[in-house]
Amino acid sequence: MSTPHLQGNAGDYAPVVLMPGDPLRAKFIAETYLENVRCVNEIRGMLGFTGTYQGVPVSVQGSGMGQPSIGIYSYELYHFFEVQSIIRIGTAGGIDDSVQLRDIILGQGACTNGNYAAQYGLPGTVAPIASFRLLRAAAETADALGMPVRVGNLFSSDMFYDDANSLARWQKMGVLGVEMESAALYLNAARAGKEALCICTVSDCPLREEFTSAEERQTGFTKMMELALETVRKL
């Protein structure tokens, strides 16, 4: 069944979906790595594709930017398209002093300044965390590939331009990187009884004013893509 944001039927999506924010990154992954590819979504230009990777069914669906946007797409995939696992493959800003440009971070948990969890009416503060099964699989796959990764907390910010300049305070808490989506994805997965993981490539280090180009962010972070695909293959 179609939803307001995704078209097609439940069978149009594989049980595991890779979810970049940029729909053009979704298109690049589908055209570069998948076989028997078909486009399954074009609504609002948020492209989605389904194919196989070394014989394993996998989908790639853009999510857009921010917690409200990934909240919509991941909710619909979990609840209406029978998707079991979503692996976000995105970019993050490095916060910790040890994090360098192009490092890969596996998001064990996601701190946030957002209000996404308020909808659940919980009598306390929820801690959005990744699926341990996916996290362990990705870490073990990275080891097998000889690919260094960092495992730790991300900060899902609701603001790209933060007037309070709060990143230094999150750095003191050992947060590795800042992005804008993982907390909502982890919360949606928890509420649906499904799985989620965030794999991020460090595209910039804002506290040190170090940056990569827009073109590299769209098509150049292939190690992260290959790690996600190999993780799906080994699940």
Residue in this structure with the two tokens 């594709």, named with its chain if needed: 49
Structure tokens, 29: 């992954």
22, 96, 103, 204: the active-site residue:
204
Distance CA 2, CA 63 (A): 16
Residue ranges of E strands in the chain: 16-19, 35-41, 48-53, 56-61, 85-94, 104-112, 150-156, 177-179, 195-205, 210-211
**204 annotated active-site:** yes
d(CA 90, CA 198): 8
Q: Which residues are catalytic?
A: 204
